[in-house]
Amino acid sequence: MKHYYLVADDDQDTQFLIRKAFGNLGLSVPLQFVNDGEEVIDYLEGRGGFNDRETYPMPGLILLDLKMPRKNGLDVLEWIRESPFREIVVVMFSGSDVETDVREAYRLGVNSFIHKPTSFSDFQHVLSAVHHYWFGCNYIPRIGGDGLIGREKTPFKIIAQ
Amino acid sequence: MKHYYLVADDDQDTQFLIRKAFGNLGLSVPLQFVNDGEEVIDYLEGRGGFNDRETYPMPGLILLDLKMPRKNGLDVLEWIRESPFREIVVVMFSGSDVETDVREAYRLGVNSFIHKPTSFSDFQHVLSAVHHYWFGCNYIPRIGGDGLIGREKTPFKIIAQ
């Protein structure tokens, strides 16, 4: 079972760091990247070059930046929650930890709000936590098809520090 | 900073196991318990014996059983998302892993859906994951007040198995 991520972030450095973090963690997770909010919608609707579902499969989870050109993360979130893709898990992954942004994201139905850490080791740590929590513990409905993406059998250990 | 849980479950054995799991994990987390869906609403609204916020503080996170008397988990979730408490993090913690239940929970705006494992060691494991993810990585808006309940600084390690 592949756990596809759709990562929406206009910052190429962040895209690079996400790839690098998953690589370092030994997680060979299929990552798809888009660069702005309009592209998230195009991707989900299979328009604008994203029409081949073999190449651009429906994601299990969207990692969504907040501040993006064309359509920002909150606008995209609002669109998703009123769309046929409303059940999709959306994790805001943002440089912002401003209270009004966090509250607005929850008000609009985000599943979770993660603040991007500035140190790479913490950045890698939170991506590991995101992956293991959402795909290792949680059930996610498969979007655009039947079935669930289910919990793997105790795939990791948590060590309190 | 205290991370209050409101646990809604009519099954006394489950309540006992949750207490035991948090105890075994060394997490001295304040847990409040209610026994059905109507009591969740009473608790959040501070009615029916829950009017003292010192004794019954607003939770950071609700662990919500699905099948409960009076009002089930999906009904409570729907109520929460249309209430002044709509931003609260709700994690469904259910014996069900039936696809229609999971989809309906996401459609109604659950943050996460966890299937209660039958073995106690897995049960404890997923509660550890819930705690460390939501209070160790994620930002949660404080309900009924200002501020965020924020990420602790790398409070745990994840070991892939």
Contact across the interface for B25 and A160, Cβ inside 8 Å: yes
Beta-sheet pairing, B148-149 with B140-141 = antiparallel
Tell me: the pLDDT tens digits for B83-124?
A: 999 999 999 999 988 889 999 999 999 999 999 999 999 899
Instruction: Among A8-17, A118-127, B126-135, B145-154, name the one with the lowest average pLDDT.
Output: B145-154
Tokens for A109, please give them: 């139905």
Kindly provide the ipTM of the predicted complex, given to two decimals.
Answer: 0.92
Contact across the interface for B99 and A157, Cβ inside 8 Å: no
Contacting residues of B for A159, CB less than 8 Å apart? 156-159
pLDDT at A154: 47
Tokens for B55, please give them: 């004794």
Cα distances from B27 to residues A76, A128, B1, B65, B124, in angstroms, run 37, 21, 13, 21, 11
pLDDT at A148: 78
Q: List alpha helices for chain B, DSSP H.
A: 12-24, 37-45, 73-81, 99-107, 120-136
Which sign, positive or negative, has the C-alpha torsion A71, A74, A76, A79? negative
Contacting residues of A for B139, CB less than 8 Å apart? 97, 102, 113-115
Tell me: the pLDDT tens digits for B25-77?
A: 888 788 999 999 999 999 999 998 999 999 999 999 999 999 998 999 999 99
Q: Is the pLDDT of residue A93 over 70?
A: yes
Number of Cβ pairs < 8 A linking chain A and chain B? 134
B118 touches chain A (CB under 8 A): no
Task: Tell me which architecture the domain covering A5-149 has in CATH.
Answer: 3-Layer(aba) Sandwich (3.40)
Distance CA A46, CA B98 (A): 28
Distance CA A73, CA A70 (A): 10
Tokens for A140, please give them: 């996610």
Cα distances from B20 to residues A1, B23, B100, in angstroms, run 33, 5, 31
The domain limits of chain A are: 5-149
Q: Which of B97, B113, B157 sits opposite A159 (nearest CB)?
A: B157
In 3D space, the residue among A157, A138, A134 whose CA is nearest the CA of residue B94 turns out to be A138
For residues A83-105, b (16+ Cβ closer than 10 Å) or e, as one string? Answer: eebebbbbbbbbbbeeeebbbbb
What backbone torsions phi and psi does residue B149 show, to the nearest 5 degrees?
-95, 110
Residue partners of A144: CB distance under 8 A and separation at least 6: A58, A85
Q: Is the pLDDT of residue B155 over 70?
A: no
Contact across the interface for A122 and B154, Cβ inside 8 Å: yes
- The structure's pTM equals 0.93
pLDDT bucket at B80, cuts 50 / 70 / 90: very high
Question: Mutate which of B126, B157, B159 to test chain A, going by most A C-beta atoms within 10 A?
Answer: B157
Which sign, positive or negative, has the C-alpha torsion B37, B43, B49, B54? positive
